[in-house]
Amino acid sequence: MSQIQQPELIDLQNASFEDLVREMLTRLGEDPSREGLLDTPKRVMKSLEFLTHGYTKQLSDVLNGALFTVDYDEMVIVKDIEMFSMCEHHMLPFFGKVHIAYIPKGKVIGLSKLARLVDVFARRLQVQERLTTQIAEAIQDTIHPAGVGVVVEARHLCMMMRGVEKQHSSAVTSAMLGVFGKQETREEFLSLLRRQAPNGI
């Protein structure tokens, strides 16, 4: 009786990233040597390096001194910051928008830097709840405002493509620090998020 041939095991200690992708393709039932897949291991490696480049970023380098002294103590809001991240449970994307508000106490962050700050934490394997908290705490620790509010609205491909397969579901998470823990400040922030700007601005 013929014996069933076992697949050759790769040496995990010495395997390259590309070797591991080839192994994954094989285990999925594919032939990594066919034309359409020849360069896939390299492409997957580069893609994942880009999608998780937040691990290589330092917050201080991203902000790059863009902290400014101001005589302003009203709420600063930046809405609709596009966000793309990767679910750490299934390694599938989730994406959406981040809304940030804070009340400065002498310092503000350059507006474009807030978007870069979001990417520092979003471009990692994440869960939405932790991402929301990390963004809020980073702002709190950087400029020590009176308070910070962060709301994240996202759609998860792990719900849309697999599992319950609900294509129109979204998740909303929030982190409210400092004075944003007070009901009136929280309500002001949330009401301003709901308000439509005139002329589409």
Q: What positions carry a catalytic annotation? A: 87-90, 128, 156, 158
- The number of helix segments (H) and strand segments (E) in the chain equals 7, 7
Q: What is d(CA 149, CA 20) in angstroms, rounded to the nearest whole number?
A: 41
DSSP string, 111-170: HHHHHHHHHHHHSSEE-HHHHHHHHHHHHHHHH--SEEEEEEEEEEHHHHTSTT--TT--
Antiparallel, parallel or unpaired: β 147-156 and 171-178: antiparallel
CA 163 from chain center: how many Å?
21
